[in-house]
Amino acid sequence: MSRLARRSCWSLHFKNHYHIKTTSLLLSSFSTFAPHSTHPSPPPIRVELTEYAGRAVFASRRIGAGELIHTAKPAVAHPSLSMIHTVCYSCLRKLPNRDSTSGGPDDVSFCSIQCQQLSKKFYDVEKKADWSSFNEYCRLQGLKYPLLVKRLACQVISGAVAYDILDVLQPEIPSSDKISRMKKEAALLRSTFEDSDFESEKMAFLTEEWYAGVLARIRINAFRIELAIGSYEDLLSSAAALVEAESAVGNAVYVLPSLYNHDCDPNVNILWIENADAKIKALRDIEEGEELRICYIDASMDYGARQRILHQGFGFECNCPRCVSKD
């Protein structure tokens, strides 16, 4: 997710040609359906560099209230450990007639043959290793984001994705305490692969620096996946990724949705209806050229709570109109 306070400094590292290239790649990876059309078309948005917030997403035409702006598949997703037996190990869709006691610690399920096939590469890598120590560490420490790093590492080793797939996203600036913990987690992750006799060449990317860089991006760009029961209208707002506690069906990182800036009175909402495929929908009429913003947290919280969580979790002080008025 774009960060208002630190985005400008961060974005100075990107040259204009890089911005144009990555923006084109981002928009070419997503589509939506125009009204009365059965053919997918580019989403009605553009990504631009701004002086006040780095990259931001703007409407390229008028967007009506309730319109589905675009969808997005996660770059990486992982179920919560408490839900690992109740949801698809790939898309996080809830499985029928399953509860948290179903199956052993290593038993996972897929909702369809398609999900099983899409996951074959990374899962063939993952099931070669014994993840009991790594998962137990995450469970005892109440951590969820290292699980996403584990999943991404398996995807990279399998050749499914590039090791730098998340480099386009802004990283968190970690404290010394977090860096120390990241080093411990990186060592535990690498040793798990080494104990399973993976070729060293395939793990060459798996350094402390890679782990820290990926985790720093995941920490402020991950979304907590809460599946809606019913239609879009059942939800008016969505909370993006609580920073520490594990909850909901799982967590996921996206590319384009992570470029949306925050507002405590957003004009855009992100929903998950059946699985981890995100659906970005307009909450009200949006004019051409207007910036699209989501709410990173629960918009129903009071001013003090919003400021505290945004500062602690995302590293910025919100100056949206609602916060300026201390509503």
pLDDT tens-digit map of 57-91: 999 999 999 999 999 999 999 999 999 999 999 99
C-beta separation of 11 from 49 below 8 A: yes
Q: What is the pLDDT of residues 41-60, one digit of tens each?
A: 789 999 999 888 888 999 99
pLDDT at position 30 is: 56
Phi (first) and psi of residue 12, to 5 degrees: -65, -20
Considering only CA atoms, give the Rg of the chain.
Answer: 20
Q: The pTM is what?
A: 0.82
Q: Match 């074959």 to its residue by tokens.
A: 120
- CA pair distance 48, 318, nearest whole angstrom: 21
Tokens of 85: 């037996």
Q: At what angle do helices 145-158 and 208-221 cross, to 10 degrees?
A: 120
C-beta separation of 146 from 185 below 8 A: yes
Q: How confident is the model at residue 313 (pLDDT cuts 50, 70, 90)?
A: confident
Q: What is the DSSP string of 8-43?
A: HHHHTTS-HHHHHHHHHHHHHT--EE-TT--SEE--
C-beta separation of 112 from 132 below 8 A: no
- State whether residue 172 is helix, strand or coil: coil
- CA pair distance 4, 261, nearest whole angstrom: 7
**What pairs with residue 265 in β-bridges?**
none
> Does residue 156 carry a pLDDT above 70?
yes
Q: What is the pLDDT of residues 17-32, one digit of tens each?
A: 334 444 444 554 455 5
**Can you give the three-state secondary structure of 151-169, one letter per residue?**
HHHHHHHHCCCCCCCCCCC
- State whether residue 320 is helix, strand or coil: coil
Q: Match 């059942």 to its residue by tokens.
A: 234
Comparing C-alpha atoms, which of 145, 139, 134 is closest to residue 217? 145
Q: How confident is the model at residue 174 (pLDDT cuts 50, 70, 90)?
A: confident
> Does residue 123 carry a pLDDT above 80?
yes
- CA pair distance 204, 199, nearest whole angstrom: 9
Percentage of the chain lying above the pLDDT 90 cut: 66
C-beta separation of 235 from 269 below 8 A: yes
C-beta separation of 80 from 246 below 8 A: yes
- State whether residue 57 is helix, strand or coil: strand
Q: β-pairing, 293-294 with 261-262? A: parallel
pLDDT at position 18 is: 39
Average model confidence (pLDDT) across the chain: 84
C-beta separation of 69 from 20 below 8 A: no
Reported as type and span, the H/E element at residue 206 is none
> Does residue 211 carry a pLDDT above 60?
yes
